[in-house]
């Protein structure tokens, strides 16, 4: 169980120099997906941005650029979770949801992936920025601590799929649904998505994934049991699926049209009217990635 305490609140001025996610990070412009017709606030940090969904008090999507040639290994000691001073407290999910239970603050932007830069100072700032509650989502502790494959996808793709300096863009976020249980006034997402974007032979390419925490949430005694889910196949503990980006767009409402057209999952080109969830492919390891090119070339 994560027992980090809340750090002293920063001021908005302290974060005023953050440049956030760079949509030109790969060369071709890849904007952070928008969520039309929903109230959102864009929060820039070091190397990443968070598009906050105010009605949920959680992120709609996060966008991170990873420079694999500049990654550093910094630990998290002494860094505590904090609210973002650019939002009111009632517009974000803070410590109350995570206190005295088996719910973790699950990083959306992976801490290790954000820690890079031209200097240790830059990398350390990204490390600290990743501990804002706006970059967290409620996750069952057993789920959050058992995501080896889910987290490993970023490292694997970063090491093998990017042409230019091992650069990778990753969009991550919750998949909200009517089945999400409400706990202490906050809807706990049952599923999360990840879309990785990179260059392959100079061309923009993308792949999408979904992971589910329904079984783990059902084991927590004070969290309401999740409702029935009809729009996708039942998912078991720690099961990760490669998913057409089109399905992620439909489930989240995010504008992912640019990435749908460059989806490298072979089935994506022939989906037609296939129902959401019917073409998902379970992954047992990164070697199971279903791509139409060899990442190890």
**Joined tokens for residue 238:** 């720690």
Please give the share of the chain, as a percent, with pLDDT higher than 90: 51
Mean pLDDT of 146-160: 75
Mean pLDDT of 7-24: 84
E strands present in 176-228: 182-183, 186-187, 191-200, 203-212
| Residue 108 scores a pLDDT above 60 | yes
240-242 and 281-283 strand pairing: antiparallel
Does residue 202 or residue 39 have the better pLDDT?
39
pLDDT of 237 reads 53
- CA atoms of 141 and 213, how far apart (whole Å): 10
pLDDT of 228 reads 46
- CA atoms of 204 and 197, how far apart (whole Å): 7
- CA atoms of 149 and 241, how far apart (whole Å): 10
Mean pLDDT of 180-187: 90
Does residue 278 or residue 158 have the better pLDDT?
278
Does residue 214 or residue 258 have the better pLDDT?
258
| Residue 113 scores a pLDDT above 60 | yes
pLDDT of 217 reads 75
226 Rama class: left (phi>0) / alpha (psi -120 to 50) / beta: beta
Please tell me which of 34-48, 104-118, 202-216 the model is most confident about, judged by mean pLDDT: 34-48
Q: Which residues pair with 172 in a beta bridge?
A: 62, 194
Mean pLDDT of the chain: 84
- CA atoms of 202 and 236, how far apart (whole Å): 37
**pLDDT-derived band of residue 230, with 50, 70 and 90 as boundaries?**
very low
DSSP-H helix ranges across 136-178: 141-144, 148-160
């Amino acid at each position: 169980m994560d027992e980090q305490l809340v750090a002293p609140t920063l001021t908005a001025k302290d974060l005023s120099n953050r440049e956030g996610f760079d949509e030109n990070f790969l060369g071709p412009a890849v904007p952070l997906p928008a969520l039309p017709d929903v109230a959102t606030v864009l929060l820039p940090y070091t190397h990443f941005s968070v598009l906050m969904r105010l009605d949920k008090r959680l992120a709609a999507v996060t966008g991170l650029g990873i420079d694999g040639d500049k990654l550093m290994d910094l630990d998290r000691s002494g860094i505590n979770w904090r609210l973002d001073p650019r939002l009111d407290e009632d517009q974000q999910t803070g410590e109350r949801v995570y206190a005295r239970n088996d719910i973790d603050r699950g990083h959306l932007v992976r801490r290790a992936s954000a820690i890079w830069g031209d200097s240790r100072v830059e990398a350390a700032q990204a490390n600290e920025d990743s501990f804002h509650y706006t970059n967290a989502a409620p996750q069952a502790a057993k789920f959050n601590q058992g995501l080896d494959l889910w987290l490993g996808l970023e490292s694997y793709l970063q090491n093998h799929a990017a042409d230019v300096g091992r650069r990778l863009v990753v969009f991550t976020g919750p998949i909200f649904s009517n089945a999400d249980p409400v706990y202490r006034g906050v809807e706990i997402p049952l599923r999360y998505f990840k879309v990785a974007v990179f260059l392959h032979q100079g061309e923009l390419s993308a792949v999408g994934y979904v992971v589910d925490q329904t079984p783990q949430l059902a084991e927590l005694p004070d969290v309401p049991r999740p409702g029935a889910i009809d729009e996708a196949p039942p998912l078991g503990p720690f099961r990760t699926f490669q998913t057409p980006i089109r399905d992620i767009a439909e489930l989240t409402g995010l504008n992912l049209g640019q990435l749908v057209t460059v989806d490298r999952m072979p089935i994506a080109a022939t989906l037609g009217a296939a129902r959401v969830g019917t073409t998902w492919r379970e992954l047992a390891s990164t070697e199971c990635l279903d791509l139409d090119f060899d990442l190890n070339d």
